[in-house]
A and B are shown apart, each in its own frame.
Chain A
């Protein structure tokens, strides 16, 4: 079920919330979370019920392995658990890809359907096992564990959460009770996310699809077309995924649950290092804590540090999709990060103070960073290397400047949206922080400005945004990250 579908907006969400608060209102938070588990499994199974057993197996297996690890910290158990999780991911996500790349061997065709959300689920389960092994998991029981893993707002595409961020929230005195403030802010965040997805991402996405399809067919792409398509996808993926994350965070907040932030205006970053602190923050955090640091991080010398960065980003690329273009995207970002760290090292060795910057320095750094990110997106979006290279050729102006395959409006929407990304406050800056200081927010992000207020003007603005998003739901476009 998609967040941007009528059955979700007008049936699933209201019914789930009503029953949850009804049960919670009677002082039965444990039953309330049990209801959320049932609703979440239904939410997952609505897409394809045949994968529900896989979800349940994963939950049961990891819960009991976690219990065993809690009782006895044995490394082989942890390794075995990680391998089982990776094995499931490997089979469902990469088996077809591997078979396709081993065509020289006498093996037949293999077509495995990717269970939705398995990449996110696998990382969360691995993080849970590692945290349990490290003794960093709070007390839980089976129902609470099921609730933590299957929680429907983030079951399909994150944010990737850790047990210690979610489980303690159950202990809050007011948990399960309807809270007007939380519901209002949650609904506001959700509407902003829905607007981003339906109005911004889907509109600009149709233009990106058009241009990338032409590029894939081998037709020469002109300078304006190529840049239009590249900028369109740059905006589409941001509004699509950050819109999804806002919706997930907003829905959870309506239920009185706080999820970690996933985006913090990534296109405002002045460097690739900063970009990865702002883009898909829960994934960056996972890769840092469970891959980069265990590999040695920056503790084993400069060469190992760069090697670890490359490995981490290659894994990030492969995690996104079973294809060589995703590997190339990861490799490019790994390279960017190495160059960024090397540049900083050179500047430090020359005696520069990295904390002192100028406006033109920051401006040019933003342009370079954004340019590098846009080039990498070409490999992320294009189905093949030839398509990506065709786009690059066009962007370099080697096929001429002019030529239009769309209206002037098509060209203007993407730059306009990019400008919005660059200057407008993001959702958390607009709506405000979580008021529970005991809850950890990833990256230590604390919004600097709180523009939204629960008043008449904002109720009209958000109400109209909600209405516009609903009337624009002419077809259900799935979220890009659902494929991962």
Chain B
């Protein structure tokens, strides 16, 4: 009886130690991974991260030199405007998936350390006024906003009863959950991201923020708008766009709006009602906010696009059109 009892105690101790070892192993692996993913983002995250990092570094730096034009917008603007082609001092701060939320904080932070630019070109694809596609996946994951900025955004979304950001906050998940980074870690190894991200960073630094997303000699794929049935701006994004414009104008910056061209194939599939509603939205911006809209929805040949929505071969001509329009508004004719 005693031997059996002793055996049981020893067995129980063994299993107890095993459980403690297992728990320690999980906790240790968790801590190592979280430490790694929060400190080595350039090594593991996708190619958009270096662009966001570059924009964040630019706006948080300090300088006394004044820019003639700053471009704020999404990836279509990042690919469609080439600062180095301009004789003026211009900077492209557009980012993949950027919405007016990030645009507002970009300008806000930029103005803290730099003189206000002369002109600001806003360029968001219509669908980036209707939905936020990367707020959690990029803005939050890339630590683009401070905790206070994030809280402000979240409270605004609740106040406006806007569901664009979803029902519940995912911020804590990007802070604590390793699963949010596991896919990135796996792809980082496969794609050797530490190398490609470094190259991307150097590219955007040397190009003053320009980046080509696709480099095909044409695309007949449909862009995001061609999949949408109607245009309905989100209350949250509309509110932030309004704040962005007000911020610029209160600093004496002239604000322009330029919708990057669509490929012909997408134009063919765009519902009439979508174009009408979007035009009406821009007209309201023009009349209510004094924004100079220099291009609404326009179409260019498929061959000028590097992928379904980003310009490649057409980027230079598009840049020239923007420069001509921004610096000589009266001489503008719609591209379409």
Contact = CB atoms under 8 A, between A and B. Distances in A.
B26 A458 contact: no
Interface string B3-40: 00000000111111111111111100110010000000
Interface stretch (A49-57, A177-185, A268-276): A177-185
Interface string A461-484: 011101100111110000000000
Contacts of A466: 22, 26
A455 B18 contact: yes
Contact of A473 (B20, B23, B30, B179): B179
Interface in B31-76: 33
B44 to A, nearest CB: 13
A454 B178 contact: no
Contact of A181 (B12, B21, B22, B30): B12
Nearest to B183: A474
B25 A459 contact: yes
Contact of A180 (B12, B24, B183): B12
A180 B17 CA distance: 10
Interface string B155-193: 000000000000000000000011111110000000000
Contacts of A455: 14, 18
Given A180-B19, A459-B18, A471-B178, A464 B29 contact: yes
B25 A460 contact: yes
A187 interface: yes
Contacts of B180: 474
A180 B21 contact: no
Contacts of B24: 459, 463
Interface residues on A, range: 20 to 34
B23 A463 contact: yes
Given A470-B178, A471-B178, A463 B29 contact: yes
A458 B183 CA distance: 26
Contacts of B183: 474
A423 interface: no
A456 interface: yes
Interface string A438-470: 000000000000000011101110111011001
Nearest to B173: A6
**What's the dominant secondary structure at chain B's contact region?**
helix
A180 B22 CA distance: 13
A472 B186 CA distance: 10
Contacts of A456: 21
Interface in B104-120: none
A458 B18 contact: yes
B15 A467 contact: no
Nearest to B12: A180
A409 to B, nearest CB: 10
A467 B179 contact: no
Contacts of A474: 179-180, 182-183
B18 A184 contact: yes
A26 B238 CA distance: 60
A184 to B, nearest CB: 4
A205 B85 CA distance: 49
B21 A463 contact: yes
Contacts of B12: 179-181
B179 A472 contact: yes
Interface string A371-401: 0000000000000000000000000000000
A459 B181 CA distance: 25
B182 A454 contact: no
A454 B17 CA distance: 8
B233 to A, nearest CB: 29
Nearest to B21: A459
Contacts of A464: 25, 29
A455 B29 CA distance: 18
Contacts of A459: 17-22, 24-25
B18 A454 contact: yes
Nearest to B19: A184
A467 B25 CA distance: 8
Residue from A462, A467, A474 with most neighbouring chain B CB atoms (10 Å) = A467
Contacts of A472: 179, 182
Contacts of B19: 180, 183-184, 187, 459
Contacts of B177: 6
A460 B25 CA distance: 6
A205 to B, nearest CB: 16
B16 to A, nearest CB: 5
Nearest to B15: A184
A181 B15 contact: yes
Contacts of B178: 470-471
A256 to B, nearest CB: 13
Contacts of B30: 467
Nearest to B28: A463
Residue from A183, A454, A458 with most neighbouring chain B CB atoms (10 Å) = A454
A463 B182 contact: no
A471 B29 CA distance: 10
Contacts of B15: 180-181, 183-185, 454
A156 to B, nearest CB: 23
Contacts of B13: 180
A474 B174 CA distance: 12
Contacts of A181: 11-12, 15
A462 B12 CA distance: 18
A471 B25 contact: no
Given A472-B182, A474-B179, A474-B182, A463 B11 contact: no
B23 A471 contact: no
Contacts of A454: 14-15, 17-18
Residue from B11, B12, B26 with most neighbouring chain A CB atoms (10 Å) = B26
Contact of B26 (A6, A184, A467, A473): A467
Contacts of A458: 18
A138 to B, nearest CB: 27
Contact of B29 (A6, A179, A467, A473): A467
Contacts of A473: 179
B270 to A, nearest CB: 26
Given A463-B29, A464-B25, A464-B29, A471 B18 contact: no
B183 to A, nearest CB: 6
A26 B20 CA distance: 24
Interface string A184-227: 11010000000000000000000000000000000000000000
6 contacts: A454-B17, A463-B29, A466-B22, A467-B25, A467-B26, A467-B29
Interface of B: 11-26, 29-30, 33, 177-183
Interface of A: 6, 179-181, 183-185, 187, 454-456, 458-460, 462-464, 466-467, 470-474
Q: Which 8 pairs between the two chains have the least Cβ-Cβ distance?
A: A463-B25, A459-B21, A454-B18, A184-B15, A471-B182, A467-B29, A459-B22, A471-B178
Given A454-B14, A463-B26, 10 more contacts: A180-B13, A181-B12, A187-B22, A455-B14, A463-B23, A463-B24, A467-B29, A470-B178, A474-B180, A474-B182
